Amino acid sequence: MHTPETELHERGLRARLHERSVGICRRFLHEVRAPMGDGKVLEKMGERRKYVRRDATVGRLSAIFLEDMEGSVKPSTLACYRRNIQCHILPALGARVAAEVTAEEVNDFIQQLQEDYSHKLVREIGGLLLRIVGMAGVGYGEDVTLPKVRQKAVEVFTEPELKQMGQVILRRPDRTGLGVLLTAYTGLRLGELCGLQWQDVDVGAGLLHIQRTVERIAQIGGGTCLTVQPPKTENSERWIPIPKEMLRMLKPETKQPDSYLLTGGEIVPDPRAMQYRYKVLLERCGVRYRNFHCLRHSYATRCVERGVDVKSVSELLGHADVRTTLRLYVHSSMDYKRRAVEGIGFLKGIT
Interatomic CA distance for residues 187 and 296, integer angstroms: 4
User: Which residue, 118, 150, 182, sits at the end of a domain?
Assistant: 150
* Phi, then psi, of 312 in degrees rounded to 5: -65, -40
Residue 136: half-sphere exposure toward Cβ, Cα within 13 Å? 23
* Residue 53 Cα to chain centre, angstroms: 34
> What's residue 250's pLDDT?
86
Interatomic CA distance for residues 164 and 167, integer angstroms: 5
Is the alpha carbon torsion for 253, 289, 208, 226 positive or negative? positive
| Judgement on whether residues 184 and 254 belong to the same structural domain of the protein | yes
Q: How many domains does the structure of the chain reveal?
A: 2
CATH number of the domain at 174, please: 1.10.443.10
Rounded to the nearest 10°, the torsion over CA 226, 262, 186, 168 is 130
Interatomic CA distance for residues 67 and 263, integer angstroms: 36
Q: List average pLDDT for each run of 10 residues in the chain, which is 351 residues long.
A: 52 48 40 38 41 80 92 87 94 94 95 93 95 90 89 83 95 93 95 95 93 87 85 88 90 80 93 96 96 93 85 88 72 67 73 58
- For residues 229 and 212, the answer to whether their CB atoms sit within 8 Å is yes
Any domain includes 256 = yes
> What's residue 331's pLDDT?
58
User: Which residue, 94, 120, 150, sits at the end of a domain?
Assistant: 150
Any domain includes 175 = yes
- For residues 209 and 200, the answer to whether their CB atoms sit within 8 Å is yes
| Judgement on whether residues 173 and 309 belong to the same structural domain of the protein | yes
Any domain includes 346 = no
CATH number of the domain at 67, please: 1.10.150.130
CA separation, residue 162 to residues 91, 185, 222, 271, 275 (Å): 47, 10, 39, 21, 17
Any domain includes 273 = yes
pTM score of the predicted model: 0.70
| Judgement on whether residues 321 and 197 belong to the same structural domain of the protein | yes
| Judgement on whether residues 137 and 231 belong to the same structural domain of the protein | no
| Judgement on whether residues 69 and 194 belong to the same structural domain of the protein | no
CA separation, residue 237 to residues 28, 230, 312 (Å): 26, 8, 15
| Judgement on whether residues 328 and 239 belong to the same structural domain of the protein | yes
> What's residue 86's pLDDT?
93
Domain that holds residue 76: 52-150
Interatomic CA distance for residues 267 and 128, integer angstroms: 35
Q: What DSSP character marks residue 54?
A: T
Cα distance between the two ends of the chain: 88
* Phi, then psi, of 215 in degrees rounded to 5: -140, 155
| Judgement on whether residues 65 and 173 belong to the same structural domain of the protein | no
Q: Residue 249's closest CA among 298, 184, 295?
A: 184
Any domain includes 14 = no
| Judgement on whether residues 183 and 235 belong to the same structural domain of the protein | yes
